[in-house]
Amino acid sequence: MSLEGCATLVDQWRQPAGLRPILSDQAGRANSRVAPASGALSTTIARSLGIASPVSQVSRVAWGHSILEGPRQRTSFPTNRWKTQTSYRTRRMFAGSVALLLTLIALAVASKGAQADPTPFPWDKLSKELQEAARSASLPSRFIVATYINVTERLLMGESVFVPGALDPVIWNALTTNDKFVLEDYWKRYVNVPGSPELTQQAHSLVIDKALALITGYNNNITWPKIQALIQALQAIPHLVILERNPIRSTQSVPVEIGPSDLLPLVRMSEVGYVEFHRTRCRTSCVSLDVSVKAIRTDVEWGYGFTGSGVKVGMLDTGVTSHPHLQLAASMGFGNDGSTNDCDPYGGHGTAVAGVIRSDDATYRGVAYSSSLYNAKVLNSDCGTTSNTIIKNGAYWLTDTNAVRIITSSLNPGQSDDDGNADLSKIMDYLVTSRAVLLTQAVGNDGGYVNIPSGAYNIVSVGASNDQNTIDRANDVVWPSSSRGVTGSARGKPDIIAPGVSIMTTDTSQGFSSFTGTSFAAPHAAGLAVLLKQAYPDADYLELKARLINGDYWLRGHQWQSDWAWNYIDGYWTYFSNMVWAASVTNNAYWTTQIYLPAFYTFTFTLVWNREMISETQVDGLSNLDLSITCPNGNGDSSASTVNNVERISLVSGVGQYCTLKVYGASVPTSIGTQSFRVVAYDV
């Protein structure tokens, strides 16, 4: 055995157990006592990462049948003298002594920096998803990663000052005990708890401004220099492309485009603390489900560890066929044959919808890929007929038997225009209010008015966009065939828009196929609601609806529009719509609260409430609520639609000031008495 070979073996032995190569004896048998086969770093993977192949190096090391192996066999020696004069035990001891001696020599050589690189691959710097791709040699030829600086703090942004408990310890610990008391008193307003009467608005403002100054100072003095140093260091990798050279000062990462061989020098940089796939992981070659899921910025929730685990979500559709990348919590058929399998004439419609939510494939990954998915098939055996009874039975099985509180439906029976008063629309409104359910509903694909039941008041109606198969949303357009508007009314439907064109998702042939329609936009929204529910367990269905509508990618504060509706869904802004008020109002009365708006921040507020139902067929009434905000310097905004049960306002506070947020019960029917509502807001 050469010293180089022995040094290589020792170097490989230093790797964590799951990364050691398989060592084999001269007969080609796996040596399980030396290294486990599972998780071994293959030659292909090593080459893709720019590492010399460990297996090819070790295979030349002639350990033979040494004392490390299980089955004992006689070892051949070069002369008859050894064969005849040395006992088997003596020969074994000699072989072991030689092996030990060479190992010790190799350790000494390796410790002095011999030819083999003793530095193990720093896997802990890679995200789990990136590790999986690297280990399986499935990295594309070019891909985009987010390269993070070495920091222990969470992202330090001004918004965290206004959210209870969101301040990073580095900022929180820099405040005095009195500052913390004042700030905690200010946060009470977000849970509708009265603050201390001894603390004035000015006292709150002083501490808020102090915390904002601390964040700015930390970013300027610590975060920003580290980002500049990282950008400088990245330029040393020849084929690496820096995609953002002028980031904002609070950022903690730089997006770069690399190839597999660039990954090793990248993670070995001292300026690099962590690397993960960027949400825009590739420019032109990504598959569409991967594009659409990343485009709506689910990476925000995923990055915080929210992938749907522990949250139940149900679907009312054509059934689901078994697929290796779909795990269902339960299935039930409500058609005349009781089947739960997908209907072939629909081309795997339900299976495709399920994949958008729950596919656990590494490439074609669903929005909430760790959620518990329940399949309610609501079509008859002819795969073409259903009924309101079948649909509602499926819905109640989800809610009453399985305690599901998030449901998606992509069925538009009859494809008839909806004014919100169709029988099935009333059933859906009753389902939402009586079972406290968030329900996303596809609006239809005829380009006209929304189809039954997507005109229902209490659901979240979803239209479709075409993401042009790119992560960059600047070129996205609303799909022309996506239905919009409510027949005979000025009401705004759909509520939100989500990707729905050329979505590559699970199919009935155990693979993946492309699907187009609002049917595949609705599960994107339901999946995002699942992530929000995991992130905010106390959020009820009304809060989830308000977050989905408020968190607009375009950051618009306008009223409903026929193209982009209220919102183009966005994981970032829904997640950070962290100001939440749950309250109620009576007829001709106001609900008010004081809120501090720091200077030059843009705030957007969304108000939602239900059409109240007595039964599946009887409407209790629809209240008319107005939303407004007024500030001492004259800034303000208001929304007073008489037809929608959604209102939205937005404003920029020119100076730091306390403003009054109001919900006015312009008309609350006597039969309702007190109308409950939710308001959510974000600032940017």
pLDDT for residue 370: 96
Compute the C-alpha angle 499/550/355, nearest 5°. Answer: 30
**For position 289, what pLDDT does the model report?**
64
Asked if residue 532 lies in contact with residue 301, where contact means CB atoms within 8 angstroms, the answer is yes
DSSP string of 460-508, one letter each residue = EEEEEEE-TT-S-GGG-EE-TTS--S-TTS-----SEEEE-SSEEEE-T
Cα–Cα distance measured from residue 1 to residue 552, given in angstroms and rounded to the nearest whole number: 65
Using 70 as the pLDDT threshold, list the residues of the chain that sit under it.
Answer: 1-119, 153-154, 159, 189-192, 279-289, 344-347, 414, 557, 684
DSSP assignment of 122-178: -GGGB-HHHHHHHHTT---SSEEEEEE-S--SPP--GGGGGSTT-S-HHHHTTS-HH
Rounded to whole angstroms, how far apart are CA atoms 453 and 441? 8
Q: Is the pTM of this model over 0.75?
A: no
Classified as helix, coil or strand, 301 is helix
Domain chopping of the chain, boundaries: 3-119, 122-278, 308-575, 579-683
Q: Is residue 623 left, alpha or beta, with left meaning phi > 0 and alpha meaning psi from -120 to 50?
A: beta
Angstrom distance (rounded) from CA 461 to CA 451:
10
Question: What pLDDT score does 119 carry?
Answer: 64
Q: What is the pLDDT of residue 8?
A: 34
Around Cβ 232, how many Cβ atoms within 10 Å? Answer: 10
What is the number of residues in the chain?
Answer: 684
Q: How far is CA 204 from CA 184, 189, 194, 594, 658, in A?
A: 10, 12, 14, 12, 10
What residues contact 429, with CB distance under 8 A and at least 6 apart? 456, 457, 458, 459, 610, 611, 613, 619
Q: What is the pLDDT of residue 189?
A: 67
Question: Which pLDDT does position 152 carry in this prediction?
Answer: 75
The encoded tokens of residue 65 equal: 């049948």
In whole angstroms, what is the distance from residue 244 CA to residue 237 CA? 16
Cβ atoms of 391 and 616 closer than 8 Å: no
**The domain 308-575 belongs to what CATH superfamily?**
Peptidase S8/S53 domain (3.40.50.200)
- One CATH from 3.30.1330.40, 2.60.120.380, 3.40.50.300, 3.30.70.260 for 579-683: 2.60.120.380
